[in-house]
Each structure stands twice: as C-alpha cells, then as structure tokens.
Amino acid sequence: MTWSTLSVIGAEHLSHRTGTAVRHPIVSDADGHIFFIRDVDESDPAPNTLIPSTQFNEATRAGIWLALVGMRAVRSHLLMLLSSRFHRAIVSTGFRDELEWISLPDGTFVSYVRRQVAAQWRNDCAEHLLRFLERRISQSLSLPSRSVAEDILRQVRYVSDRGTRHRRRMYLLLYAVVDDGRLFAIGDLALRDCGLAATELEAFRSQVSMPRVFDSEEARLSKQPVYVALTLQSIS
C-alpha cells in the first residue's frame, strides 16, 4: 500500500458545526476498503481502524462524519475544518489566509495541509484575531458590535490551547467587552481554563478608560457603550 493509491473520502465533522478543528482523514484504497490511517507521518500507510461502508454512509448522513470527494491522500497531511461562523470572523477581520479551502454545501470549509502548516495557521489566526481587537481598543477605534467583538474573541478558543498566552489574552479581552451581567460566568471560565483569578481580570478591566464609543446602532439607541481605550501592556 502506498500513499498514491489512497483517497481521502471523509473526516470527523465539527462538533455542533462550530469553530475550527484539525482532523485525521478517513481514506479508501483501490479495493474500496475504508479506514483511518494508523500514523499519517509513516512512509508506508497502514490501516488503523477498518470502517464498514454501511457505517461510513450512515455516519455521513447523520452528520457525524463529513464526506469528501476528489482528494488524494498525502503523507503527513491533516484536514483542517472551519465552520461558516469562524470563516466569517477571519474574513471580517482581514486575516491574510493563503491556504486553499474547499467550500462544502453545509457551509463548512476544508483544507488538506501538512501537520506543521496546520499548527502554524492556528497560531497565526489566534494572534491576528487578538491583535485586531487590541489595536481597535488601544487606538480608540470603533469596534464591531458588542456581539461581533465577543464572537471574534470566542473563535480564538478554537485556535489556542488551555493555559497559553493566546487563551489568557482572549479571556482578558472578553472580560473587558462583555456586559456586567456576564462577568461572573467569564471569570469562572477564565479561572478553570487559564488560572486567571478574578483580581487579575478586574485589574485589567479597570484599565479601561474614557473615551467610550457606542459599538452599534442598537447600542446607541440603548445607551450601552463599549470600552475602547486601555493600556495593553499586561496582555502582550
């Protein structure tokens, strides 16, 4: 068995169709056998788990797995999946994405790339999304609507790992932009995910100062401002 004889036909789908994920491919050989590969970095691919065709078809119909066509298997390559919501977040913030994506009918975007490329893309994407909002906040530029700003920050969760600098910055910014009624919930998540204490979150939020701008027409009408000027040294 060689890589050139295998075709990528599917992958585990995104959980709840949200965020982004890196998946191992489901492949088929020339004889129609369907399986996961034991190690995508091996020069000679070997089956790990054989999958009956009926199980594959049922799982794809149920949306548990994603069906793909016309993709040749390549050593050390993994599938990157983006939800339509995540894709909107990176497009709206001007992320320079040089990967080739396939747009599927259900709104999912797929790219088949080397493992190292996937890791670098996640890092670059997290940095970009955070910098986009940090720059607007520090320069007192108008933010997107409160809900959009929060959604952008929540997307960072999918491209950062627990306890990392990116995840820490995400929670600090999220704590600064959400309304007062949700501070406790965000603080609880930040503590469990990154060890960020409430005192640290409050200290960061207290840096937020005037001027403030309204983040949307709806916010203008309701007189609910979003904070847009603060010192960002503590989260760099």
- The 8-class DSSP code of residue 105 comes to T
- Is residue 113 within 8 Å of residue 121, measured between CB atoms? yes
Residue 96, by phi and psi: left (phi above 0), alpha (psi -120 to 50) or beta?
beta
* DSSP secondary structure string for all residues of 182-230: GHHHHHHHHHHHH---HHHHHHHHTT-EEEEEE-SHHHHHHT-EEEEE-
Condensed to tens digits (0 to 9), the pLDDT of residues 14-57 reads 987 888 999 999 999 999 999 999 999 999 999 988 999 999 99
Q: How far is CA 206 from the centre of its chain?
A: 29
d(CA 1, CA 7): 12
d(CA 99, CA 46): 28
Condensed to tens digits (0 to 9), the pLDDT of residues 139-160 reads 655 556 667 778 888 889 899 9
Does a cis peptide bond (omega within 30 degrees of 0) precede residue 225? no
The pTM assigned to this predicted structure is 0.80
